[in-house]
Amino acid sequence: MIVRQRHDVAVWLERLLYVIAAIFAGRAIIHQNPPNFDMHLYAHRIGPMPFQARFLMSPVLLWAENNRFLMDWSALLKNSAHGPIELMLQIVDSLCLIALGWLTPRIRGSFSPRAIFPWLPRWMLLWIVAMVYIVRDEQSMYTPYDITALLLFNLAVYFSIRQNLPLYLATIAVAMFNREAVVFVLFVWITCVVSKSRVKAFAGAFITAIYWAYERWQVTQWLGRKPSESGSAWFINISMLKPHHIPQLLSVGGFLAIPLLFYRDRFQDKVFRRVCLGMVPWFLGALYFGWWNESRILGESGVLFAVSGAMLVEILAREKIREEPAV
């Protein structure tokens, strides 16, 4: 009984420490790397493209801009929050990281074997977020929808694993107005569901693709501008092909992806393999659309990196335990 009580206390203490760390990280993201475009213009939907086309956060920031409570608190926290919009971004990012602390272990729980360190995935995720969005100094770039996209993208992945079509589509419907890259989750949906029901798998993917096309058209109508006004993405990305940016892309992903590549035969869970297969188009799309000059372009895959890294640690720990001779 005493042991169980101590375990419960330890669990709640770990969760409390994570919440505190997530709040500090959420505040540090925007404080260390403020957006490189005017948040006032973004809030009023007249910001630069293609950032303004991802306007889910616009009404939130517009409300915050004239909120008396946030104005007073931003004045008190003037050394770390320059105005109510920045304070609101810190609050949203902190809440998203707290929610990810709940979501990431549940994604890990969808794979076998059973987790022996259930707390590890969320802490690995927080470390990855810190490396990508806080301590970067070579190329500091942050947009108001980054951490929101991290949460919504992986929430859609989670519902794909659970094969819950209504919640998957609801998440996609919201996330698409935050960042259109969430459309790539349809491949995860297909790989996770097709073995159970081909009709359900391709119906969900078809609805996602149609909604993506509609959302792109609707955004153009609302804003009166095309989502991209800077020319062909192909020629732009080719012109920015800079090999010296490869190390910064792999700074976090490489530390985890390289060991995962060497130990890939240890991952036997079929659901995990299906998710990884479904994420291949996402990685290829990310490599094309901005990896040459953006270390954050793979940000949405941070949860998969964290879960994979935690699984690898647990697999190696189990092997080490089995190798030790019994006393």
Strand, coil or helix: what is 327? coil
Q: What is the tally of structural domains in the chain?
A: 1
Is 323 part of any domain?
Answer: no
If you write DSSP's letter for every residue of 102-113 in order, what string do you get? HHHHHHHHTSSS
Is 139 part of any domain?
Answer: yes
Is 98 part of any domain?
Answer: yes
Is 20 part of any domain?
Answer: yes
Which DSSP letter does residue 254 get? H
Is 186 part of any domain?
Answer: yes
Nearest Cα residue to 190 out of 320, 75, 84, 282: 282
Is 316 part of any domain?
Answer: no
Is 267 part of any domain?
Answer: yes
Domain that holds residue 242: 2-307
Q: How buried is residue 231: exposed, middle or buried, by Cβ count under 10 Å (0-12/13-18/19+)?
A: exposed
In order along its 327 residues, the chain shows pLDDT tens digits of 665 666 677 888 888 999 999 988 888 887 777 777 777 777 777 766 777 777 777 777 778 778 788 777 777 776 666 777 788 888 888 999 999 999 999 999 888 888 888 899 999 999 888 887 877 655 556 777 888 889 999 999 999 999 999 999 999 988 888 888 888 999 999 999 998 888 888 998 899 889 888 888 777 777 666 655 444 455 555 555 566 556 555 555 666 676 777 777 788 888 888 998 888 888 887 777 665 555 566 778 888 888 988 888 888 888 777 766 555
d(CA 197, CA 207): 16
User: For the packed helices 165-175 and 146-161, what is the interaxial angle rounded to 10 degrees?
Assistant: 160
Is 106 part of any domain?
Answer: yes
